[in-house]
Amino acid sequence: MTNRSIMVSQIFAAISVSPAFAHFSHASFEELSFTVEPGQGVEINLVVTAGALVEFSWSVEDGLVSYDLHGDGGGNEISYQKDRGVKGHDGMLEAAFDGNHGWSWRNRGAEAV
C-alpha cells in the first residue's frame, strides 16, 4: 500500500452517540462500530490528498440509514454518492482534491441501528 492509499476495510454503522464527528489523518482501520439513535446522525472523515484511494465497506445491523459520501477542503465541495434507506455500501473512493473525505449517516427510523 502506498502512502497515497488508505484502507478502510470495514466500517459498521451501529453507533451510540448523539451527532458525532470523527476525523482521521492517514490512518488504517480494520473495523469501527457505533450506534445511531433514531433521528440522529454520525459523520466520519479522513484527511487525504488528491488522488488518494480509500477502499471501504460498511453495513448496518438492525435497520437502514441514509448516507452521503462527500468531500470538502480548500474551497472545494463534492458529494460522490448518497442514498436513503440502505443496509450498506462498499467500493473505492478516489479523492478529487486535498481535504476531508468521508461519510455521514442518518437514522430516520424509529429504532437504534
10-50 per-position pLDDT tens digit: 333 332 233 444 444 445 666 788 899 999 999 988 888 99
Whether 3 has a pLDDT exceeding 50, the answer reads no
Q: What is the mean pLDDT of residues 4-9?
A: 35
The answer to whether the pTM exceeds 0.85 is no
CATH class of 5-106: mainly beta
What is residue 27's predicted lDDT score, i.e. its pLDDT? 54
Res 30: pLDDT = 65
The answer to whether residue 1 scores a pLDDT higher than 90 is: no
45-73 residue pLDDT tens? 888 899 998 889 999 998 999 999 999 99
Please give the Cα distance from 89 to 58 (Å, whole number): 6
Query: Between the CA of residue 68 and those of 1, 3, 4, 89, 105, what are the distances in Å?
Result: 26, 26, 23, 11, 7
Q: What cell numbers appear for 96 in the block?
A: 478529487
Compute the distance between CA of residue 47 and CA of residue 62 in angstroms, rounded to an integer.
Answer: 30
Q: Is the pLDDT of residue 2 over 50?
A: no
Query: Where along the chain do its domains lie?
Result: 5-106
